[in-house]
Amino acid sequence: MTETTETSPVDPRTPCQRWNRRRDSYRPAGELIDVNRYGVELITEAEAKAFVARHHYSGTYPAARLRVGLYRSRPFHAPELVGAAVYSVPMSQAVIPKWTGLEPAERIELGRLVLLDDVEGNGETWFLSRAMGLVRSELPEVRAVLSCSDPVKRTSPEGRVIIPGHVGTIYQAMNARHVGRTGRATLYTTPAGLVISKRALSKVAGDEVGADYAARQLAEAGAPARLPGETGQAWIARIKASGWLGRFRHPGNLVYLWALGDRRERRQAAQGFPAPLPYPKARDVVETMNRRAA
């Protein structure tokens, strides 16, 4: 189990964010999930990837180590996949010793979490507490889980909110330890608000392993088409010069940690964690971070 054996209730005044086809909405504050209608189990790579790509605001899928699904049952219908938690390998292995003091195999990242917009209000905490149990049983070598929340709001050129910015309210409700934020970084975004990582661009420019997947991401997002015979380096340079990619300086994501195991194991794992910081609150932190990003 995690640091909390059962989920703490979300502040009843806080609406719960949901997603459907990468558009967000909110469930009413104080709404409770009917646990008799839901189940949690492992899902395949193909199921998780399709669900996350279709519904998560990022439109991207990480390098997964474990995939967990939330299913909802209805009379006379097959169970329906309505949520996914993807535990992944971080893009940079440097974050592992920095935040946990553990070896790479002993730590995992909650890379994606998405629930559909008709799942009741406290569905994330109920789902995540059980997903953490599966991490413990399926990957017994893992001693800690890290997750980050992006507090910076981003909008499309038409003014539509693509990423509303959030401070990890669900993680706070699950007693995660807040330990700081990641470093500042330059992000590239498409006109629709999709983040294209600098690493993806460099893979295409350098024709590295993974370049084909990154190139498909760019093409599917509507990037200027690659010309016949054009090198990856020339294509990326032309995309950047075209103004199709927006660029902004991100002030860093908020970092949360959970230790896994029984009380003794959690205490041992947490010895390498940074000291806990006060939980950031949405209004203050989001506004501050947005000012830093401007």
Q: With a cut of 50, say whether residue 3 has pLDDT above it.
A: no
Long-range contacts of 49-54 (CB under 8 A, 24+ apart): 51/81, 51/84, 51/114, 52/84, 52/86, 52/112, 52/114, 54/21, 54/22
Q: Please report where in the chains the tokens 């029984």 appear, as a residue.
A: 262
**What distance in Å separates the CA atoms of residue 98 and residue 130, rounded to the nearest whole number?**
27
Domains and CATH numbers, the chain: 16-183+251-293 (3.40.630.30), 185-250 (no CATH)
**What distance in Å separates the CA atoms of residue 155 and residue 193, rounded to the nearest whole number?**
7
**What distance in Å separates the CA atoms of residue 264 and residue 216, rounded to the nearest whole number?**
46
Q: What is the CA radius of gyration of the chain?
A: 19
What pLDDT sits at residue 261? 93
Instruction: Tell me how crowded residue 84 is: count the other CB atoms within 10 A of its CB.
Output: 26
3-state secondary structure 166-234: CCCHHHHHCCCEEEEECCCEEEEECCCCCEECHHHHHHHHHCCCCHHHHHHHHHHCCCCCCCCCCCHHH
The residue-averaged pLDDT of 144-152 equals 91
**What distance in Å separates the CA atoms of residue 156 and residue 159, rounded to the nearest whole number?**
5
Which residue did the predictor score with more confidence, 259 or 119?
259
Longest dimension (CA), the chain: 60
pLDDT tens figures, 66-90? 999 999 998 888 899 999 999 998 7
Q: Which of 153-162, 181-190, 257-266 shows the lowest mean pLDDT across its residues?
A: 153-162
